[in-house]
Amino acid sequence: MDVAVPPPEAVDIEREDLPISIVYQDEALLVVDKAAGMVVHPAPGHRSGTLVNALLWHVPDLAGVGGRRRPGIVHRLDRDTSGLLVVARTDEAHQGLSEALKARRVKRLYKAAAWGHLSEERMTIDAPIGRDPNDRKRMAVTAGGRRAVTRVRVRERWQSADLLDVALQTGRTHQIRVHLAHLGHPIVGDEVYGSGWERGLGGPTRRWVDELARRTQRHFLHAAELVFDHPITGERMRFRSELPPDLAQVAEWASAR
């Protein structure tokens, strides 16, 4: 029997002159404050316009670091999640940062807004995450998934939502979004894991809920703080990013009412 083997997929990634915010760089790494709406690396349906396309333009020596498909990428953010991520410029830095992530020595703190009110001011969510058996494009808390741990602290209580500080202990795909939805408090604006959830919030705050949903044009999740030891020098590195204007305006409105 003859078997037709398709030709290998090309992995050459085009450099694109796209605006990105590089908040720090040295010979080993750089830290980027990613805008919402930008995919981190090329994938089916997103061959261009990604952060990697932009990085290859601004940092030409990045090509090939850590692999040709995702050069320099150590960890990712969802397309509509804004905020900080670290990128390696050398294979040595890539290996060191990857090992630090696996050993949970990289601190990643997020700001998130979730519908409803959490039952406790501080919570640890320890629930395994894997592919949703009913929809392979989504993730879900499932018995066959990989262990995932998220720590949550209520920062502000709004009328029918909470502003949260969220720390990742593990880094599963969509972890924060899946864990909060699993708790029954999906992220405000999350069309995948919380679409229409706010419709169940009635009573005297109904108009406030509708207005918050209208004002939030993407899921309210921002990578606000990144802390790690430099993979070459060992120096403690700490970076913070304020809420971008779209989310800051939502939070200002919500907290004033």
Q: Go through 60-78 and write b for each residue having 16 or more CB atoms within 10 A of its CB, e for each that does not.
A: eebeebbeeebbbbbbbbb
Helix or strand or coil: residue 34?
Answer: strand
Closest C-alpha to 123, from 149, 147, 104:
149
Relative orientation angle of helices 206-215 and 245-255, to the nearest 10 degrees: 170
Decide the pairing of beta strands 29-34 and 21-25: antiparallel
Burial 162-176 (b: 16+ CB within 10 A, else e): bbbbbbbbbebebbb
Write the single-letter amino acid at 117: H
Place of tokens 């501080």: 122
Instruction: Please report, for the chain, how many H helices and E strands are present, in that order.
Output: 5, 11
Structure tokens at 247: 């989310």
Instruction: Write the DSSP assignment of 228-247 as a string of letters.
Output: EE-TTT--EEEEE-PPPHHH
Of 12, 17, 26, 78, which one is the catalytic site residue? 78
Q: Is 78 among the residues known to form the active site?
A: yes
Positions marked active-site: 78
